[in-house]
Amino acid sequence: MQWLKGVGQKRAAALSTAGIDTIEDLIEFFPRRFIDARTVINLGDAQQYLWQSVTVAGTVIGVQQFTYRRPFRTQITIEDKTGVLHLVFFVYSEWIAKQYKVGDGVVAIGAIGFFRGEPQIVHPEFLEKTSESQELAEGKLLPIYPNPQAFKDGYISQVQLRKMFEQVLLSDDFIRVTTEVLPQELISKYQLMERPTAFREMHLPGSPETLSQARRRLIYEELFFLQLRFAVERHRIQATAGRGIGFDVSSLFSVLQSPKPRKPSIISQVIESLPFSLTNAQQRVLSEIATDMSKDHRRIPMHRLVQGDVGSGKTIVALLVMLAAVDNGYQCALMAPTEVLAKQHYLSMSALLKETPIELSLLVGGQPKKLRAEILSELSEGRTNIVIGTHALLEENVIFDKLGMIVADEQHKFGVAQRKILIEKYRDAPPDVLIMTATPIPRTLALTLYQDLDVSTIDELPSGRKQISTTIVMPSAQRGLFTHIREVVKRGEQVYIVYPQLEKSETRDVKTATKAYEVFSEKIFPDLHVGFIHGKLKSADKQAVMSAFRDKQIDILVATSVIEVGIDVANATLMVIGNAERFGLAQLHQLRGRVGRGGKASECILVPSEKLELKPDESVTSEDIESRTASLERLKILERTTDGFEIAKADLALRGPGDFLGTQQSGAVKLKLADIVRDQQILEQAAKDSAQLLEQDPQLRNKEHSATRQELLRLYHQRESFLEVG
């Protein structure tokens, strides 16, 4: 990038650190927002905008440096016809002081705060002289770009970025890299703006209307190529997939048609032994899976995702499906993410199968060599029907006689490469794969993440489950919380207290689970039985702690997120989560699901960290306020609803979809403009358009699709996809 005027070696390095190495990278570095000069507030009205981010403009009437005590700071005072305001800087304060002098006109953006009764903005997120911001002075839209640390270190300001774009947009290279890549029929169909014009408008918009058209054009393009990538992958899978197993699932269909079929089977025997009836949603999902399994011998292997909220009954569905495979002479493997969950599955399924001839095995790390050798022998010789395990199932010496069905529980805990290792442990035909998750996935994300998977949803909870009330308690009000915990224990019920990490982070001021355990056991509840469980405990020690908790020998269990999945203690009715904002919404919902397992009313209390409380006369930046407000708003979603799908949708809207493809769990492609929640309609249309294009031209070899093919290869040629395993 050093060919650009004003970009030397240091700035080129800063751009590279931020991921900008080419012209394409630069023009796809889009503004995060735009300033309209008509939104500038009067300084005299600052009181009305406390803690809000606003645009101010004025003339510098004073530049002061305070160096007599730390922290050193620079204060630039500006005025307009209605009042005055201070711009305060703690970082680079000496450098800032040299840039501005009395009489300069400035424009700034930031959060209004007050210190000793006077309005101020601490570290404005944007600050320029009006002489350098003619666009704003003239009332035009001014792009505000992301400001990563690399830019700060390389002294790349908003002014310099705009000057770079002005150069690039007038260069021959710009014309070269913005040639049309969409099929002409789609441009005409949706009346899309021309590609070069769209990029120009995104950086130098002429009006809000043309900016909107440019965004629409580039969002469609981004989603179209994302969906085209998935469509190509799906075609490849279908063309290369091995011949799957054709199961006889008549015994499963018969119990779905009648609770007591004429011809009894192990499946009907298990269903009759259940203390509850299958919900309509469970029966529907079982029917969908059975239909997949029963296709003729030329079918491709089943790859189905079953998603259901916490406690919706996914495990019994998985067991019945595995029994159908066993009924055909095949073996099954259930892979769980933790030993605690694997053992819980083993115990619960063993209880259900104790009156049947089904042979069940548990394979986890740390087992005695003799026992492990025996399990492996039984597995390879076909004497084990169902094996439940952790990552131990992936080891080379784990050999199956006739593997026909794989169930991956809590699929988001496993990497796709790990699941692929297990899938390849077959001898004749590839096994069917059932992936389960208690992290509901909104339809828009499922369209993108799982185009190669069929998705089933258990959207109904068993009867009798009570709602879990959720409340946010700020750290300053914790004394009342401790009293409430004592009341719960006094009733004979039990409590979880969860923290997000075990040891102190070097970069975050977070109360740790270890410290919390010490405080709760020694100072706050010394007279109660307080236990502690975390991921670094040995397997036997974890089991001992959980057994003691189940047996009511522990009143309060302090834990890390190791208890997120699979822990089922009916007498636990209160979940307290410390530093709650450190967890994702889906994870908080999972943790909340650890209570309410019995018939008693249960509750979850979310305690944010102390940093989220705003204090009077506190000097904070707009970024601080925005971050704190966003964190609390996220937690309030859990107060409003216990619907896992609504929570997942909100989590997706707040955090974004992240990465989608490749060897990372959620992939390697980041959306730059599109939002799959906001742009759902465009996403769905792009999916249809990409599928139709491949139907017409599967290899994109037609002349009119040449540019589309080249752009697809440019975007994705280095990415290895494991989509065939979910």
Overall average pLDDT of the 40-64 stretch: 91
Per-residue model confidence as pLDDT tens digits over 385-439: 999 998 889 888 999 999 999 998 875 555 556 667 777 777 778 888 898 887 6
Mean pLDDT check: name the lowest of 372-376, 404-408, 470-474, 541-545: 541-545
Q: Contact, 651 vs 444, CB < 8 A?
A: no
Residue entry with tokens 């209004």: 112
State the first-to-last Cα distance of the chain, in angstroms, to the nearest integer: 39
pLDDT at position 40: 85
Beta strand 73-79 with 84-89 is antiparallel
Overall average pLDDT of the 156-172 stretch: 86
Mean pLDDT check: name the lowest of 124-128, 147-151, 548-552, 580-584: 124-128
% of the chain with per-residue pLDDT over 90: 38
User: 382 in the Ramachandran plot: left (φ > 0), alpha (ψ -120 to 50) or beta?
Assistant: left
Per-residue model confidence as pLDDT tens digits over 340-375: 788 888 988 999 998 899 999 999 988 899 999 999
Residue 144 burial by Cβ neighbours in a 10 Å radius (0-12, 13-18, 19+): middle
> Is the pLDDT confidence value at 154 over 80?
yes
What's the CA gap between 704 and 697, in Å, rounded?
10
pTM for the full model?
Answer: 0.64
**Which of helix, strand or coil describes residue 700?**
coil
Considering the chain, tell me which residue range(s) the CATH 3.40.50.300 domain(s) occupy: 265-293+313-437, 468-641
Q: Assign 508 a pLDDT band (cuts: 50, 70, 90).
A: very low
Mean pLDDT check: name the lowest of 304-313, 362-371, 484-493, 599-608: 304-313
pLDDT at position 661: 38
Q: Assign 246 a pLDDT band (cuts: 50, 70, 90).
A: confident
pLDDT at position 203: 92
> Is the pLDDT confidence value at 629 over 90?
no
User: 20 forms bridges with which residues in the sheet?
Assistant: none
Mean pLDDT check: name the lowest of 218-227, 442-451, 574-583: 442-451
What's the CA gap between 698 and 491, in Å, rounded?
66
Specify the fold of 265-293+313-437. Rossmann fold (3.40.50)
* 691 membership: H or E segment, kind and range: helix 680-696
> Is the pLDDT confidence value at 81 over 90?
yes
Q: Assign 638 a pLDDT band (cuts: 50, 70, 90).
A: very high
What's the CA gap between 722 and 119, in Å, rounded?
55
**Which of helix, strand or coil describes residue 405?**
strand
Specify the fold of 9-185. OB fold (Dihydrolipoamide Acetyltransferase, E2P) (2.40.50)
pLDDT at position 725: 46
3-state helix, strand, coil in the chain (%, to 5): 45, 15, 40
> Is the pLDDT confidence value at 616 over 60?
no
> Is the pLDDT confidence value at 581 over 50?
yes
pLDDT at position 39: 75
Mean pLDDT computed over every residue of the chain: 84
Provide the 8-state DSSP code for 522: I
> Is the pLDDT confidence value at 242 over 70?
no
Beta strand 53-66 with 33-36 is unpaired
Interior CA angle at 147 toward 143 and 152, to 5°? 130
Q: Assign 664 a pLDDT band (cuts: 50, 70, 90).
A: very low
The larger pLDDT score, comparing residue 124 to residue 238, is at 124
Alpha helices in 266-395 (DSSP H): 266-273, 280-293, 314-326, 339-353, 369-380
Q: Assign 690 a pLDDT band (cuts: 50, 70, 90).
A: very high
Q: Assign 722 a pLDDT band (cuts: 50, 70, 90).
A: very low
- Of 519, 575, 321, residue with least CA distance to 435: 321
State the CATH architecture for 468-641: 3-Layer(aba) Sandwich (3.40)
Within 10 angstroms of residue 670's Cβ, the number of other Cβ atoms is 11
* Strand extents, DSSP E, 90-148: 105-111, 113-115, 118-122, 126-129, 141-144
**Which of helix, strand or coil describes residue 202?**
helix
Beta strand 556-559 with 494-498 is parallel
> Is the pLDDT confidence value at 469 over 90?
yes
The tokens of 204 are what?
Answer: 């130098």
What's the CA gap between 175 and 157, in Å, rounded?
26
Overall average pLDDT of the 673-684 stretch: 84
pLDDT at position 311: 75
Considering the chain, tell me which residue range(s) the CATH 2.40.50.140 domain(s) occupy: 9-185
Interior CA angle at 690 toward 417 and 288, to 5°? 60
Q: Assign 230 a pLDDT band (cuts: 50, 70, 90).
A: confident
> Is the pLDDT confidence value at 542 over 90?
no
> Is the pLDDT confidence value at 701 over 70?
yes
Provide the 8-state DSSP code for 243: P
Mean pLDDT check: name the lowest of 251-265, 439-453, 552-566: 439-453
